[in-house]
Structure 1
Amino acid sequence: MAGPSHDPSLYRHRDVVPIRRALVSVSDKTDLVPLAQALAENGVEIVSTGSTAQVIRDAGFDVTDVADVTGFPEMLDGRVKTLHPNVHGGLLADLRLAHHEAQLGEYGISPFELVVVNLYPFVETVAAGAEGDRVVEQIDIGGPAMVRASAKNFANVAIVVNPASYPSVVDALGRGGTSLAERRELAARAFAHTSSYDTAVAQWFAGETISREVDLPGHLTVQAEKITDLRYGENSHQRAAIYSRIGGHGIAQAELLQGKPMSYNNYVDADAALRAAYDLVLPAVAIMKHANPCGIAVADPKALDPIASAHIRAHECDPLSAFGGVIAANRPVTLKMAENLRDIFTEVIVAPDFEPAALEVLSQKKNLRLLRLPADWEQENMDVRLVSGGLLLQDADRFPSDDFESVASNWELVAGEPSDLPLADLVFAWKACRAVKSNAIVLAKHSATVGIGMGQVNRVDSCRLAVERAGDRAVGAIAASDAFFPFSDGPEVLANAGVKVIIQPGGSVRDDETIALAKEHGITMYLTGERHFFH
């Protein structure tokens, strides 16, 4: 239904609106008392609710309870207190219109020029592990209604939803009121605030995770707030910014401890590196360039400093490509790892934490960006990708278990004898392959990559690239392929290089030819029955 229409000539211009009456109702009491003091000193009548009114009153300032305005007590455990014409009439009256002003007078309603409201801590309650009715009671009703009403009426009302905006309110008091431009900007922030809040509630009702037993949602809303503009995007002529998704616990929320601001490409590479490093349960390091790994490794079991060992082994895979790379570690960065990096040009290191001594060493590299992950960092359960006119949603490709025997339990031995190599090394090669862009071939030894072929448009070229990069290290290596071999030419390249084991999904109409070649060369071949394309 369309809203009422008015003759434009009826509207009286309003720019600066003096603040004479304020409605204040906040869950976040940050800087509430200084704000109340500024309002009181400027003769502003303060109307408030519940605990907010009590804080203001305890601080020694006059406050009118909202129940005195409505003539009705708060009821139903506070579920109903501001939903009343005496409140919303004061919020929605457009005083540019003479008949609105007259109706307020007719019903004895006073307008509000300032509304300060922030909502029940729904997101924080969910994050703290609450469930059921405890969460439901944190779904704010009256708050969003007041925010939206005030924001709609920005021509007359300034709506503030964040304590960070309080200084601008105090400044406006000193200038005689808020300007139209200020009120419009505050309204935009208010609508973004309620939109984010509603999205968080909708996501909770849909379930924080989507399992394979539950249908993908019929309606999907992705809500995020800008953290900061970036210098540029993938290239200098592209604009870019980084946004924080509601409830996110990932690379976007990581803390920059030192170095230049992160770039668009830094974020992409750092997230890809995390994906690779955190696929592995043992101490592991992944080194990325252009979203592809140039080295992945876990620590030598005998190493005194596991994460430093993992980094050295990952770097040895392809030192040339590691120049200017992005590094992710799944354990805190130690002094020894920092010392190993002293002479290696690196763009970014992202890790769960950094030892103080490591920070001291790395601080000598002023341009090196150090990112500390949030304590509650977690891998995403779903992948979202924009396409023209829409988006794609899929389950994230994650291994079902960190247990080596569980990962390999469905593998089928189709050539050679069971490998005498440790199962951990076989599973490492298979997991590492998932982090490589398709077509992907990984050569690995002792749970470290020694050659990687990525992103080729045919699988035989990926085999050649992996073998070329591995050199003599290909002899006795494990080869993992993210998808089946359509022909036996790729495995032939691996066999001629001395590969000992091939792990691949299988499923080609020519599997028999590939299996025959493996048998001919004495190669052990496993079929996993599961593909790991990564585009």
Structure 2
Amino acid sequence: MVNALISVSDKTGLEKFLKELKELGELNIIATSSTYAYIKEIGIDCNKVEDLTQFPEILGGRVKTLHPKVFAGILYRDKEEDGKVLKDIGVQPLDLVVVNLYPFEKKLAEGLPPEKMVEQIDIGGPSLIRAAAKNHKYLAIACQPEQYDSIIESMKANQGKITDELRKQLCFAAFTRTAEYDRQISNYFAKQQALVKTNGSKAGEPCAEGEALPPSVTLNLSQFQSLRYGENPHQAAVWYSDSMCGKKEESFPPFLQLQGKEMSSNNITDTYCLVRILRDAGNPAACIIKHNNPCGVAIGKTLDEAFEKAYSTDPVSAFGGIYGFTAKLTEDLARKIVEGFVEIVAAPDFEEGALKVLSTKKNIRVLKFKPNVLSPQAHDAWTAKYLQDFGWIIEKDTEPPVTGEQFQKVSGKGEDQLLGDAQFAWSVVKHLTSNAIFIAKDGKSLGFGIGQTSRIASVKIALEQAGEAARGAVLASDAFFPATDNIDACKEAGIKLIVQPGGSIKDKEVIEACEKAGITMLFTGQRCFKH
């Protein structure tokens, strides 16, 4: 006989599981009220937990399994004294505990108010799971429907018994699940606390040190996929998911791979960079990424136009690039893409003809973005940097990204016809490695100055790449100009408008230099370093 305790919120696969258990031998089930009702409805005998405890569920179901008789059946050991205790209190030792938790993560995504979120915190469930996992030497714990099949297979192969090895695996999965569940709850309250502190700041004032972030943060990563190697061939690598981005098929990874070789570490980081730029660039937009920076990005009236403009920025660097789009990829555009060597083609959708064309290049990785991947993201999300023995740095925006309507003109004429390019340039430069300069005109990238240790060096590189096309163009800088030599270079190249954060002690001199050069300058008031 198998003695089982069952209490589940997610009843997926439960009917099949229980019927297969019954086929293997006698089955004695005790269950909490809603699970009991479900099991009786599918025609399987079972008893209520109250029949065992002789104590009713109370406080609207908040207390139902937290009882010595329940936990004695779970924590029993094959010892004479334990057997005597169970006999005295009239409890049979359990062989199987099947428990999954209140759907806190799912409800969190629904944006419920705090008073309702509190009711989604499971108390008895984690206690049952942890107790059963602790006592895995004597019984098995199933905390996810995906585990049912492996339990049945083990019992079929071992005369109705669950192997020690599987019980150990289920134990590990159980403690991993409760740790992740507690992490979700802890981080929820951490964010609530941070929100209270942030909202307490006066408008326009910077947050005090650490004000917008909690005193402690718990991370819990789940292995999603082993990679062939890391950034370099001598490095091992694994792709992990974090519950903040989701682990279920519909949310992670944020794309479907339709064809091509397995994604590499560099492919993943480059695609992430691609998505960040496409989210902000506009629609329709095209972007080509090499080594975590764009070598071409553009917007256009059509996706074909955007691609032609992006590709023509630097066709040499586009070789072996990551190509991304904000709209459905057409067959005609696919034919243009496969003329060169491409690592990845990513878009929210593809025409059937486009997929057929891409399939002629079997090594190209074709990625279809899942819904809302390219939608604007919450500005208050946390970002984390792991610095090994220097610890972690966690950051959070305390104000939303600046928009074009907030740009402040500090020199020159209105140049209204260039405001669209100013917004486009600013949307791109904030994703480049600092010191960063980006030059654009008519929604097309002309020059990139990326990752230099002086701003004037980045300016010169971007201007050199843009060449004569820089005349009448817009130049964006991710941080202020510390000297007027940058303005002199822009004047000589024919730059018409500069957009930059401002904030330098030399701002007055820089503005005066722009006035003399006939260059319009806009301040964004927000720096966008990226390291």
Normalized against structure 1, the TM-score is what? 0.88
Aligned CA distance change for structure 1 residues 391 and 366 (closer, same or farther; 3 Å)? same
Please give the residue correspondences for 1:325-336 in structure 2 after superposition, counting only pairs within 5 Å.
325-336=321-332
Equivalent residue number for residue 187 of structure 2: 203
Give the count of matched residue pairs. Answer: 506
Q: Residue deviations 1:175-220, cap 9 Å, x none?
A: 1312222211111111111111122223333447966436311221
Q: Distance in 2 between matches of 1:396 and 1:289?
A: 27
Equivalent residue number for residue 129 of structure 2: 147
Equivalent residue number for residue 199 of structure 2: 213
Aligned CA distance change for structure 1 residues 129 and 417 (closer, same or farther; 3 Å)? closer
Equivalent residue number for residue 209 of structure 2: none
The SS at the match of 1:367 is: coil
Please give the residue correspondences for 1:336-415 in structure 2 after superposition, counting only pairs within 5 Å.
336-377=332-373, 379=377, 381-389=381-389, 390-396=391-397, 400=401, 404=404, 406-408=405-407, 411-414=408-411
Equivalent residue number for residue 172 of structure 1: 154
Q: CA deviation at 1:173?
A: 1.7
Q: Distance in 1 between matches of 2:369 and 2:280?
A: 16
Q: Distance in 1 between matches of 2:526 and 2:291?
A: 26
Q: Distance in 1 between matches of 2:98 and 2:330?
A: 47
Q: Confirm or deny: 8 A CA contact 1:251 1:267 kept in the other structure.
A: no
Equivalent residue number for residue 498 of structure 1: 494
Aligned CA distance change for structure 1 residues 417 and 111 (closer, same or farther; 3 Å)? same
Q: CA deviation at 1:472?
A: 2.2
Q: Does 1:193 align with 2:177?
A: yes
Deviates more, 1:206-215 or 1:196-205: 206-215
Please give the residue correspondences for 1:435-450 in structure 2 after superposition, counting only pairs within 5 Å.
435-450=431-446
Equivalent residue number for residue 224 of structure 1: 221
Q: CA deviation at 1:242?
A: 1.7
**Percent identity at matched positions?**
39
Amino acid at match of 1:243: Y
Q: CA deviation at 1:481?
A: 1.2
Q: Does 1:137 align with 2:134?
A: no
Equivalent residue number for residue 458 of structure 1: 454
Please give the residue correspondences for 1:146-295 in structure 2 after superposition, counting only pairs within 5 Å.
146-174=128-156, 175-176=158-159, 177-207=161-191, 212-213=198-199, 215-248=212-245, 252-295=253-296
Q: Distance in 1 between matches of 2:319 and 2:192?
A: 39
Please give the residue correspondences for 1:7-22 in structure 2 after superposition, counting only pairs within 5 Å.
20-22=2-4
Equivalent residue number for residue 94 of structure 2: 112
Amino acid at match of 1:35: F
Aligned CA distance change for structure 1 residues 208 and 339 (closer, same or farther; 3 Å)? farther
Aligned CA distance change for structure 1 residues 388 and 188 (closer, same or farther; 3 Å)? same
Q: Distance in 1 between matches of 2:254 and 2:221?
A: 12
Q: Distance in 1 between matches of 2:288 and 2:485?
A: 29
Q: Distance in 1 between matches of 2:244 and 2:505?
A: 45
Structure 1: gaps spanning 5 or more residues: 1-18
Q: Distance in 2 between matches of 1:398 and 1:272?
A: 22
Equivalent residue number for residue 13 of structure 1: none
Q: Does 1:474 align with 2:470?
A: yes
The SS at the match of 1:255 is: strand
Q: Distance in 2 between matches of 1:521 and 1:153?
A: 78
Q: Residue deviations 1:467-510, cap 9 Å, x none?
A: 22222212222111111222333333333222222222233334
Equivalent residue number for residue 85 of structure 2: 103
Q: CA deviation at 1:443?
A: 0.9
Q: CA deviation at 1:148?
A: 0.6
Q: Distance in 2 between matches of 1:289 and 1:262?
A: 15
Aligned CA distance change for structure 1 residues 308 and 94 (closer, same or farther; 3 Å)? farther
Q: Confirm or deny: 8 A CA contact 1:453 1:466 kept in the other structure.
A: yes
Q: CA deviation at 1:149?
A: 0.5
Please give the residue correspondences for 1:7-156 in structure 2 after superposition, counting only pairs within 5 Å.
20-41=2-23, 42-95=25-78, 97-156=79-138
The SS at the match of 1:278 is: helix
Q: Distance in 2 between matches of 1:511 and 1:35?
A: 71
Aligned CA distance change for structure 1 residues 239 and 502 (closer, same or farther; 3 Å)? same
Q: CA deviation at 1:401?
A: 5.7
Q: Distance in 1 between matches of 2:482 and 2:334?
A: 44
Q: Confirm or deny: 8 A CA contact 1:383 1:396 kept in the other structure.
A: no
Equivalent residue number for residue 3 of structure 1: none
The match for 2:313 among 313, 317, 320 is: 317
Q: Confirm or deny: 8 A CA contact 2:255 2:368 kept in the other structure.
A: yes
Q: Distance in 1 between matches of 2:292 and 2:278?
A: 13
Q: Residue deviations 1:213-232, cap 9 Å, x none?
A: 36311221223322111221
The SS at the match of 2:309 is: helix
Q: CA deviation at 1:396?
A: 4.4
Normalized against structure 2, the TM-score is what? 0.88
RMSD of aligned residue pairs (Cα, Å):
2.4
Q: Residue deviations 1:219-260, cap 9 Å, x none?
A: 212233221112211112222222222141677432222222
